[in-house]
Amino acid sequence: MLPAILQSNGRGPLFGWRTMGAGGSVVGYSGPAFTESFFRITVSLMNRLHVVTTPDFPPAPYIENIGVRPDIPVDYMTRTNLMNSGATFVQAFVQAVEALAHPH
């Protein structure tokens, strides 16, 4: 929720990769006796300040399914990043901060 709140209120650019799109409160319940079943129900959904439009989903004001999309997308789940202990991602983050601090 924090990235959505920061982005929706224009508090600063988000860096990284989209969140998984879990934007609701889910509660689990046991089914009727002798069924050994268990089910989950979404009891609330977080609304964004504005409708979000992405190529993957219909426009909606929800985080659910859509996730929070970064303003500066950089994938951290790469082989290179894995092999160098995240140095590639950290370097990209530092470069983005420098570019924001000293715009050309």
CA distance linking residue 2 with residue 74, whole number of Å: 19
- Whether 32 and 54 map to the same domain: the answer is yes
Which tens digit of pLDDT belongs to each residue from 21-77? 887 788 999 988 888 899 988 888 888 889 999 999 999 998 888 999 999 999 999
Q: By residue range, what is the domain housing residue 79?
A: 75-104
Work out how many domains the chain is built from and give that number: 2
Give φ, ψ of 39 to 5 degrees: -135, 160
H helix intervals, the chain: 2-8, 79-83, 87-101
CB 19 within 8 A of CB 28: no
Whole-prediction pTM: 0.76
Tokens 């439009």 belong to residue: 53
- Whether 55 and 99 map to the same domain: the answer is no
